[in-house]
Structure 1
């Protein structure tokens, strides 16, 4: 796929993987619409990359519709939507399960993905083309000890991704699931012991862009921590 001139929306774009994706896609001369919950880091990045931006929360369906509208108003179309925004919870026993925090995770990681996809496909379906990328986690593939809350919402987002892919396949809308292992970002309140072995967000961004540039991008992209280089 040729990315130059493609209108690409990225949620959670102000830091971490979202920022790395924005910077990498700017090199491909894509037309970017960046979003995050706070404009503090988002606005300078948008200015640096000559991108449009929208301050909003993925857990709000209204905000996601407004984000899609920004892309349409600014560029007249929407080609690729990257559901990247996410939240994390420290490992904990099921007996210490924080129900309120679990609900927050589900609202962001599951419903944020759903709302983004709904907003995107509303504009992609009439054109009969488009690509949605859902950034999930290897936790969505493997049940992990003391990761009940985070695992539950990621498995849910994976199930949604698989179902959406089948629904959109005949509509010529591609749905890609990306499953990175732990990444070195500030999403962690306390850095895990193995933090230094985590993936570099720039590596993950490069792999996502490399896949997008293929004539037929892979529908599932799994990037585990053992993968250390771009080659």
Structure 2
């Protein structure tokens, strides 16, 4: 039996939200595995830093804008002729507040970025991958896409929706040889999580240390945060031929937050 290959040699991979955090870690991991990596997002400075470490390319795009998204995927098709891996990672943490106090403007913004933007990208990815007869799509859901959390209704709503989209799309594009899976990270150490903790502490009247202990580290079997690089390792598995028969699946990367 041939050994499964956890490699992306000469594969063309797109990572949205690839300038920071999990997106950056995935882009760098894919480049190390041999992929030609394209990172996309709205901030030129952060994307340029990733290009410097991956040797890939950056495309500036507003992923909630239908024309921008179409142009992004068209540019990849024109330059490379194909798209082998798409990591649907761009998103935001959304409003952190009780549902009774919900700011509808912030709710709509979260839905627009995390769900509408994700759908627009998936539509374009399917338009390339289905005709070429291959491809791996990785939707970035969350532990909060499997279990609702207080104060996070908007974010949870979008991440639950991505699980449903993953399962539906996997059945739809599977006959064409395209796989669709979801990653469900738990609390990831880094700048984004620092902001979430600070906002929760303010909203709940607790210290940041209390928020971390009560909600993230003490409730994890491994008693720690997850590093972005650990999520990137699982993304590499889903992107590579090592997971060639895996589709419609969701995998937690959460240090055991049962």
Normalising by structure 2, we get a TM-score of 0.82
> Does structure 2 retain, via aligned residues, the 8 Å contact 1:211–1:217?
no
Q: Is 2:145 the partner of 1:105?
A: no
Deviations 1:59-104 (A, max 9, x none): 1222221111221222121111110111003532111111111111
* Pairwise CA RMSD: 1.8
User: Do 2:37 and 2:56's aligned partners in 1 also have CA atoms closer than 8 Å?
Assistant: yes
* Match runs of 1:14-163 below 5 Å: 14-163=19-168
> Residues 94-118 of structure 1, C-alpha deviation per residue, up to 9 Å, x if partnerless?
1111111111111111111111111
8 Å contact kept, 1:52–1:74: no
Of residues 174, 180, 187, the one that matches 2:185 is: 180
Which runs of no fewer than 5 residues in structure 2 stay unpaired?
199-210, 218-223
Correspondence for 1:216: 244
| Structure having the larger proportion of residues in helix | 2
Give 3-state SS (helix, strand or coil) of 1:170's partner. helix
Query: Which deviates the most, 79-88 or 151-160?
Result: 151-160
> 2:220: which partner in 1?
none
2:196 and 2:185 mapped to 1: Cα distance? 19
Gap change, CA 1:215 and 1:104, over 3 Å in 2: closer
Report deviation, 1:161. 1.6
**Conserved in 1, the CA contact under 8 Å of 2:95 and 2:103?**
no
The CA deviation at 1:44 is 2.8
The aligned length equals 227
- With normalisation by structure 1, the TM-score equals 0.91
Q: Rg: which structure is higher?
A: 2
